[in-house]
Amino acid sequence: MSDLPRKAVTRTAKLAALPLGFAGRATWGLGKRIGGRPAEIVARELQQRTAEQLFKVLGELKGGAMKLGQAMSVFESALPEEIAKPYRAALTKLQEAAPPMPTRSVHAALASRLGDDWRDLFLEFDDKPAAAASIGQVHRATWHDGRCVAVKVQYPGAGEALLSDLTQLGRLSRLLGPLVPGIEVKPLIAELRDRVSEELDYELEAQAQRTYAEEFEGDPDFTVPGVVHQSDQVLITEWMEGIPLSEVIANGTREQRDRAGQLLTLFLFSGVARTGLLHADPHPGNFRLVVGDAEDGPPELWKLGVMDFGTVDRLPDGLPPHIGVTLRMLLDGEGDEVQELLREQGFIKPDLQLDSEALMDYLLPIIEPAQQEEFTFTREWIRGQAATLADRRSPAYDLGRQLNLPPSYLLIHRVSMSTIGVLSQLGATVRMRDEIEAWVPGFAVADEAATGELAVPAPEDAPAALEHDVAEETSA
C-alpha cells in the first residue's frame, strides 16, 4: 500500500470514475433483467456492487473521501432496509479502519515532528496501526514513563487531499445523493469542507481534548484520555481500552446497548454545557463502552470512553437557549409562539407566514423522543421519519423546503441528527427527556424566553462550578 495519494490528478481520476462505474453496473443490471433474472434480485446485486466500489474508493483515498464515508455511515439506519442491508457492512468498515500508511512513512513523520531520536521517547512502539481514519492513523506505544499511549500521526499531504476530495465530491453530490436516500449530500460536504483547517490542527485538537479530560476527570459516566504530548501533525494521548461502539451495535447485549445509548445522549447535552465545546464527530469509531472489571454488570458502572476532538463547535455559553425554549413550546402545543421564535432565529424567512398547525405536525414527530419519559430508538422509527421528510408527495416535504437552517446551527443540527442515527443503530432505550431537562437551557423554564430574559435553572447533579456560573448569569 502506497502513501496517501497526494496528486490531485490521481485522486480526481479515482473519484471521477465512480459515476462511470455506477453507469456500467446499471447497464449490467439491464442485461441481467433482459436475460430473465428477477428485477429485485438484480437490484440487490447492483446495490451490493455499488456499495463495495463506493466505499472501497473512499477508504483507499482516506482524506476527505473517507471523511464523507464516515459521516454518511451514521445515517445508515435511516435507509430503507432493502437499500441499507447491502450497504451496512461496507459503511461500518469506515468507522474503525482504513488501509494503513507504510511503516517507513510513519517513521519518517515521527522523526520529522519529534526529532531523529524519537524512539527514545518510547519504551515500545507498535509499527502496526491500531486504527486508521480519514487524516491520520493511530499506533499503540508505551511512553517513556511506562504509560500506554495512542500515537496519532497525520498522513503526509492530508490537508491538500482533504480539500481536493471534498471539492471533487461536491461536484459529484447529485450522483452520490441517490445512493443514500434521505441524506442531503451537498450541504454535508460543504460543512465538512468548512471544518478542514481545524481538524488538521493538532494543537487545537489537543486543547479541546485537555478541556474535556480535565472536566470529566473522575467522572462516574465518562472517560476522556489525557493529552501526553503534542507537536505539529503528531498527537500522543493516553490509551483507552473498551468495546468499540460499532461492536456494541453489531453484537452488544440489551444492557450494553441501553447503557451506551443513555451515556451517548447524556454526553450530547452535558458535554457542551460543562465544557463550552460540542464534540462534533459522533460516529461510532470515536466511542468505547468501558466496562473495566464490571464486564457482567451492573451497567451503571460502565462508562463511555470518548476520543477524537479534532472537530468541535465552540459554544462558550452552551447550547443556544432558544433550542430548549422551542422544544418546550412544541410540547406545550404553542404553535404560533413556536413560529415566531423560529422566525426570530432565522429558521423562517421574515416575510413567510406558515400554518402553525401544519408546522406543529411537521416538527412534533421529529422530537418524539422528548415527548416520552423513555423512548426506544429503532431503525424502523428513523426510516419512517426519513421517508416522510423525503417523500415529495408529503406535506412535510413542502413545508421542510420552506424552512431555513441558519449557519450558526449547522453543526449543532448535524451532531444531533448523527447522534440520533447512532442511537437508532444501537436500538437503545433512552430517557432523553431527562437529559434535556437537566442540561438544555430554556427547556425546564421557558416562561420569559420570548423577552430574552431567560432563567436557566442548574440541574441538581450539575457540577458546582456550573451552578455558580448559571446563578451569576441569572442574576445578571
Look up the domain containing 99 and give its range: 1-200
Give the pLDDT band (50/70/90) at residue 448.
very low
In a domain, 284, yes or no: no
pLDDT tens digit string along 106-120? Answer: 999 999 999 999 999
What integer is the mean pLDDT of 211-239?
A: 97
Give the pLDDT band (50/70/90) at residue 447.
very low
Q: How many domains does the chain have?
A: 2
Give the pLDDT band (50/70/90) at residue 350.
confident
In a domain, 259, yes or no: no
Give the pLDDT band (50/70/90) at residue 449.
very low
- Residue position matching grid coordinates 472517560: 223
- Global pTM? 0.75
What integer is the mean pLDDT of 394-402?
A: 82
Closest by CA to 172, choosing from 52, 13, 69, 18, is 18
Closest by CA to 182, choosing from 61, 87, 319, is 87
pLDDT tens digit string along 323-343? Answer: 999 999 999 999 999 999 999
Give the pLDDT of residue 428. 98
In a domain, 344, yes or no: yes
Q: Is the pLDDT of residue 286 over 80?
A: yes
Give the pLDDT of residue 16. 55
Cα distance between residue 81 and residue 125, in whole Å: 43
Give the pLDDT of residue 17. 60
In a domain, 29, yes or no: yes
Give the pLDDT band (50/70/90) at residue 21.
very low
pLDDT tens digit string along 32-43? Answer: 334 444 444 434
Give the pLDDT of residue 46. 47
In a domain, 222, yes or no: no
- The b/e string for 45-69 (b: 16+ C-beta within 10 A; e otherwise) is bbbbbbbebbbebbbbbbbbbbbbb
- If asked whether residues 181 and 330 sit together in one domain, one would say no
In a domain, 31, yes or no: yes
144, 178, 200 — which closes off a domain?
200
- If asked whether residues 9 and 149 sit together in one domain, one would say yes
In a domain, 418, yes or no: yes
173, 200, 227 — which closes off a domain?
200
Lowest mean pLDDT among 80-84, 132-136, 282-286: 80-84
200, 226, 246 — which closes off a domain?
200
Cα distance between residue 323 and residue 442, in whole Å: 7
CB 73 within 8 A of CB 91: yes
CB 326 within 8 A of CB 340: no
Angle in degrees, CA 196, 200, 202, rounded to 5: 140
pLDDT tens digit string along 5-18? Answer: 444 445 555 655 65
In a domain, 397, yes or no: yes
